Amino acid sequence: MTFLKEWIFGPKQTQVGIVQYGENVTHEFNLNKYSSTEEVLVAAKKIVQRGGRQTMTALGIDTARKEAFTEARGARRGVKKVMVIVTDGESHDNHRLKKVIQDCEDENIQRFSIAILGSYNRGNLSTEKFVEEIKSIASEPTEKHFFNVSDELALVTIVKTLGERIFALEATADQSAASFEMEMSQTGFSAHYSQDWVMLGAVGAYDWNGTVVMQKASQIIIPRNTTFNVESTKKNEPLASYLGYTVNSATASSGDVLYIAGQPRYNHTGQVIIYRMEDGNIKILQTLSGEQIGSYFGSILTTIDIDKDSNTDILLVGAPMYMGTEKEEQGKVYVYGLNQTRFEYQMSLEPTKQTCCSSRQHNSCTKENKNEPCGARFGTAIAAVKDLNLDGFNDIVNRSSAGR
């Protein structure tokens, strides 16, 4: 229980099967039997420790290898096979361990072994032989796959480290293996509340391709990896686009609410996706593309109602890493006007010459480049504000990383 409660289980998350061994081997439950951590914990409370005079560790590992990873018990094709062996005593069939471990190696089963030293410590017994046996079970490198704890309660202290190492196995798996879905999503990296839906950017989802989680009351929509794919703009670099880096919404004159999400690493030039919610489904209406590699187009999004009629007039998209003529990250902001439900390009804004060099560079600037907007990163932050100059229209504030 102490060990399991720190994990997240589910059909699209970690799946677990528990095999208990002593003199005999028992499958307590299968990989696909429970759909949440809560269900796993309820089931785990009902597990009764099996008695017996012997600890048949080799038999337990071999049975798990042959039976636990089958599709009949819920194992998924292509997913990395991981076995965690927890034991508190030396085996009575250690003569079989060498072959059993080799069989696991042949089937690419990664093994983490945990030695619980409680009974040895309480009896003031040497743990040397026990520890060496459990180390021999672990995959290489041993120092990353072997743990020892003082007692059962201390298992909770290694759960985080163990989880990180198991996730790392998935991250380095070959292309035939299943990739991350929502395990590393960072849901809430960005957030925005529209008229009805809460938008939560999840840049780490789907191998850092990212997504936007939509929530309304008790309804939560977690889009599939392919939901935001647009064939007309899809190129050769589908991963690590950071969709959800920033999110926003706009209100059209028709009353439609448009949802906007930036993915600044899409195909390295960045992209903005505009979509609508229809009966709980995402319908993509439009995409806006960046023009320069590495500019981080779409990392900043701001909408504004200029004339105070409750409808969105302008979308501003920041590209703070945009390189200027001086090969410095001067930044750029793209301005789009909303026409019905489509955004139309109007103009681009660039830093003025008064922005010049950042303070740490200013003293070394020459007379010739004193007024050049070098390193400004214009568009690092953009905010819609009230009518500051009292001309009857709402205003916009734009900030560069140089502090202007």
Per-residue pLDDT tens digits for 267-307: 889 999 999 999 889 999 999 999 999 999 999 999 999 88
What pLDDT shows up at residue 214?
A: 95
What the block records as the tokens of 82 is 């991981």
Q: Give strand ranges (E) for 88-128.
A: 109-116
DSSP track, 307-336: SSSSS--EEEEEETT-B-TTSSB-BEEEEE
Please classify residue 116 by burial: count the beta carbons closer than 10 Å to its beta carbon, then call 0-12 exposed, 13-18 middle and 19+ buried. Answer: buried
Minimal CA–CA distance to 190: which of 302, 108, 276, 105? 302
Averaged pLDDT for residues 330-338: 93
Structure tokens at 214: 């939509």
- Phi then psi for residue 33, to 5 deg, are -80, -30
- Average pLDDT over the chain, rounded to an integer: 80
Crossing angle of the two packed helices 128-137 and 97-106, in degrees rounded to 10: 30
The four Cα atoms 225, 231, 234, 240 give a dihedral, to 10 degrees, of -10
Average pLDDT over residues 309-323: 92
Residue at token pair 């072994």: 113
Each residue's pLDDT tens digit, 168-182: 665 554 444 445 677
Starting at the earlier edge strand, list the strands of the sheet with 281-289: 246-251, 257-263, 271-278, 281-289
pLDDT in tens, 108-143: 898 999 999 988 888 888 989 999 999 999 999 888
Residue 53 pLDDT more than 70? yes
What pLDDT is stored for residue 275 in this prediction?
Answer: 96
CA separation for the pair 332, 322 (Å, rounded): 6
Closest among 13, 25, 11 to 68, alpha carbons compared: 25
> CA 331, CA 10: separation in Å to the nearest integer?
43
Burial 284-305 (b: 16+ CB within 10 A, else e): eebbbebeeebbbbbbbbbbbb
d(CA 92, CA 371): 80
Q: What one-character-per-residue DSSP string does 274-290 give?
A: EEEEETTEEEEEEEEE-
- CB 251 within 8 Å of CB 310: yes
Q: Is the pLDDT of residue 402 over 60?
A: no
- CATH numbers and ranges of domains, the chain: 4-171 (3.40.50.410), 190-399 (2.130.10.130)
